[in-house]
Amino acid sequence: MVLDASPDEVWADIEDISSHVEWMEDAVSIDFTTDQRSGTGTEFDCATKVGPIRLVDHMQITSWEPGRAMGVRHVGLVTGTGEFTLRPAGVEVASRDEAESSPSPERTQFVWTEKLIFPWWLGGPIGATFARPVLGHIWRTNLKNLQRRF
């Protein structure tokens, strides 16, 4: 997803973890379980709702590179890892004499990856297979919501 803001501007928005509920459809609330509110080591509970399924996803921030990346480990009922990565987005160049694309400091390529492991009571690997299109739709909506913030 390309966002119409610089990586630093995007980072300034997403580094406020508590604000993620404003653009993530599946995040109901975030409650910090550490005094720390940002950076590696921050932990929080995210009340999550996907259709009729409600659960609390406990997360730990595993990487924190301002303007570049934020990594998380899911350690609640659903386990796994996730990461937001930001980099200047390429822009199309009108002239054939110029390079095909070059980075633009005013736009950001935002990539969100998740690798989740479902517990047996949510169907384990089979549940994950059925959840993939639903979660993909939710995450695409979340990215569109994030895009509207810029």
What pLDDT is recorded for position 124? 85
What pLDDT is recorded for position 61? 98
Stated pTM of the model: 0.83
Do 28 and 48 meet the contact criterion of CB atoms below 8 Å apart?
Answer: yes
The burial of 32, by beta-carbon neighbours within 10 Å (0-12 exposed, 13-18 middle, 19 or more buried), is given as middle
Q: Rounded distance, CA 15 to CA 9, Å?
A: 10
Phi first, then psi, for residue 40 (nearest 5°) are: -55, 135
CATH superfamily of 2-148: START domain (3.30.530.20)
What pLDDT is recorded for position 32? 98
Mean pLDDT of the 33-50 span: 96
In this prediction, residue 138 has a pLDDT band, given cuts at 50, 70 and 90, of very high
Q: Domain locations in the chain?
A: 2-148
In this predicted model, what pLDDT tens digit does every residue of 54-67 receive, in sequence order?
989 999 999 999 99
Rounded-to-5 percentages of helix, strand, coil across the chain? 30, 45, 25
In this predicted model, what pLDDT tens digit does every residue of 71-89 receive, in sequence order?
999 998 889 999 999 999 9
How many alpha carbons lie under 13 Å from residue 134 in its C-beta half-sphere? 11
Mean pLDDT of the 84-111 span: 72
